[in-house]
Structures are given as structure tokens and as C-alpha cells.
Amino acid sequence: MTLEMEEIRGQESALDTTDRVKIAGTALEELLVSAKKQDYLTVGVYESAKVMNVDADNVAFCVLATDEEYECDIALQIHFTLIQAFCFDNDINVVRVNDIERLADLVGTDGTGEPKDAHCILVTSPGAESWKDPALDKLHLFCEESRSVYDWVPTITLPER
């Protein structure tokens, strides 16, 4: 009987995790769309590093994206490690997304029509007052819950389109 209860709890926990990841994926999409409309996004590894170096207090959230093609890119992985360390030191939540093409679609193209480098995306909060967005609140909670189970940089799956 005890084993059955443990199995049920394990299934509930797995279901909760799946639901949490889905909710976080939807919240991330909503946040990126909203932040883009308000020009609160910094897109690109080098651009993000510059913003963090100059104005870390205005960074509200960080998204790191990779896919199989870039897993062996040592320079990119070093940048990710440094960005993560900086975010941890400055209490900035960080998530990973494994669908860089979908992220690039969400953040758009640069001035020449080329897709932006979506490997690192910062959501910024200009000015002294922190930008309030329900999706950002959901993502902060998701990250906090993930850290409670020692998942320091949780992976989020964006909703299918």
C-alpha cells in the first residue's frame, strides 16, 4: 500500500512539473512579445553582455538559447557560463530554451532583415521603477521553484505554433 502511495505522489509530481514547464513556456512567449512591443528587449550575446556590464540593475530576466548545432561551440558556451554567473551574482533569473529558431521568430529581424542572434535575450526594465508584467511574475516564480529543487538554470519549452 505504501509503495502505491509513493507511486501516485511521483506521478503527481511529474504531472506538476510538466504543467509548470508548459505554463512557463506560455509566460515566456507572452513576456517576449510584450517586451518587444515596448522595446524592452536586448537581443544577442555581445549586446546583452554590454547591457549587463553598463546597467545590470535594469535587467529583469535572461533567456539563453541553444540547439544541437551550437552545443559544441566552445566560445558560445563560455559566454553562457559568464552570463549565467553574472546573472546569479546580480539576482537575475535565467532560463534556457532549446528552440532558437522559435525564439528568433519571436524577437524578429535586425535592420537588414536577417534574423537576430537569439542566443541571449535580456528583458530590461528601464528607469527606476521595475516593469510589472504578469508573465514576468510567473517566470520569476517558476525560477524560484526550480531553484528549490536545485535546478539553477531551468529549461523551458515554448508552445508549438
The pLDDT score that the predictor gives to residue 142 is 92
The pLDDT score that the predictor gives to residue 8 is 38
Residues 24 and 156: their CA atoms lie apart, in Å, by 7
CB atoms within 10 A of CB 10: 10
pLDDT along the chain (161 residues), means of 10: 43 61 91 92 92 90 85 87 92 91 82 74 75 86 89 88 71
Say if residues 39 and 31 touch (Cβ distance below 8 Å).
no
Distance of CA 21 to the CA centre of its chain: 12
What domains can be seen in the chain, in order of their start residue?
3-156 (3.30.1330.30)
Q: Is the pTM of this model over 0.85?
A: no
Residues 121 and 112: their CA atoms lie apart, in Å, by 19
The pLDDT score that the predictor gives to residue 107 is 86
| Bridge partner list, 96 | 64, 155
The pLDDT score that the predictor gives to residue 150 is 82
Residues 76 and 121: their CA atoms lie apart, in Å, by 14
The pLDDT score that the predictor gives to residue 34 is 92
The pLDDT score that the predictor gives to residue 71 is 77
